[in-house]
Amino acid sequence: MSNTEKPLQFSNPTTEDAAQDATQDTTQDTTQGATQDEPHLQQRQQEQPPQTQEEFKEGGYGWVVVAAVKIGLAWTFRTLAIICFVVNGIASFFIRDRNHAVGSVHIAFNWKLFKRPSFIMFELWMGFSLIGYVILVFSIVAYCQTVGLSASQASLVGALFNLAQGIGRPAIGLSSDSVGRFNIAQLSTLWCGLLCLFVWQFGTRTLAGCIVFALLSGSVAGVMWAAVTPICAEVVGIAMIPSGRFTFICPLALATTVSLIVPIALSITWLVLVLPATFAEVIGLSLRSPGAWGYRNVEIFTAFMYIGAFIFGWILRAWKVWELERTRLDKEQREVDAREDGVVPTAELRRHASRASTVKETVLHVRGLWAIQRV
């Protein structure tokens, strides 16, 4: 071999070729992974809450205003605070003190009211109604998403539920003047319980069913807020109401005439309702289970809370029927005593009156449970 000949060289892949091949493999894997993950990304994007003005239309008129003005969450709450302050501030100038006219009794917490069975029935009606109300209000949107509705559809159902409350409460106040305060309050409570027991449990698997339930139940779910003022006046009397109430004015309650006369919140009642109001939703969440039918126990529990409230409220109505009838009988007895004064001996009159009154009171207590009367 001559010195000018070159040795044989074998061709090996260079570093640049190896890097280029690795880059191509990585790009191909990334493209394939993105293609495989594309359905999941689209699903997550569909599950995202509405972010545009068009999508906000399905979340109620309030969300449309927020989206159109674009003031943000912080200024949304500030705006609500300003509106409440201005409206309540103006309303406070129209309040007039009627305590001297009605002879009000001013005691911060008159615990003697608990000696009255009628007041205890009133507290039980409020307590059971509040438990059902809190669970229903704070569970209906989450329930809609559990049965497969999107976030925007669930917010629509919640908005319609609140809209029904805004329409139903003034209607309850107006109809109470013609049909009777106890009648409207207790029948509305029973109606809401039946809606939760049957419609919520079996007829809310679709968007249409949820909307119908929201409109029907929302109109009567908060019946205790619309009826607490007049019913409390019937139970304890106008003069004793300051012993159990703080002064509060609600603009939505102006449709009810008595709401302007009587303050709207019972101080004793609020203390009693602290526990049920605090733990109502906790109880509802503890009853929830996984799956599409996970709210069945919540639905049954809420329904029986309203039905239990109706039972105590109907007993309270029976007491009111008995009280009205007793007042009428006492007036008639006084008229009879005045006519027969000096004709029949007084001792004999008292003996016969005592026997008759015992029998009549027993009958009247039971009769009030089925009496058809404007109360």
The domain boundary residue, chosen from 31, 66, 94: 94
The domain boundary residue, chosen from 297, 318, 339: 318
Same domain for 90 and 146, yes or no, is no
Q: Which structural domain range is residue 229 located in?
A: 105-318
What CATH number is given to the structural domain containing 116?
1.20.1250.20
Instruction: Report if residue 210 sits inside a domain.
Output: yes
Helices 117-146 + 274-287 axis angle, to 10 = 30
Structure tokens at 45: 């994007």
Distance CA 184, CA 198 (A): 21
What are the beta bridge partners of residue 245?
A: 266
| Beta carbons within 10 angstroms of residue 22's beta carbon | 10
Instruction: Report if residue 367 sits inside a domain.
Output: no
Same domain for 79 and 174, yes or no, is no
Same domain for 84 and 118, yes or no, is no
Instruction: Report if residue 235 sits inside a domain.
Output: yes
Whether 325 contacts 364, CB under 8 Å: yes
Same domain for 235 and 283, yes or no, is yes
Same domain for 191 and 284, yes or no, is yes
> Per-residue confidence of the chain (375 residues) as pLDDT tens digits?
444 444 444 444 444 454 455 455 544 554 454 444 444 434 444 444 443 333 333 333 444 455 445 677 788 788 878 888 998 899 888 887 766 665 555 566 677 778 889 989 999 999 999 999 999 999 999 999 999 999 889 988 988 998 899 899 999 999 998 899 999 999 999 999 999 999 999 999 999 999 999 999 999 999 998 998 789 888 887 655 555 444 333 433 333 333 333 343 367 887 888 889 999 999 999 999 988 889 999 999 999 999 999 999 999 999 998 888 878 767 666 666 566 554 545 555 455 555 555 666 666 667 778 888 888
Instruction: Report if residue 342 sits inside a domain.
Output: no
Q: Which of 260, 265, 192, 257 is nearest to 222 (CA)?
A: 192
The domain boundary residue, chosen from 61, 94, 127: 94
pTM of the full structure: 0.69
* Count of domains for the chain: 2
Same domain for 142 and 251, yes or no, is yes
Instruction: Report if residue 258 sits inside a domain.
Output: yes
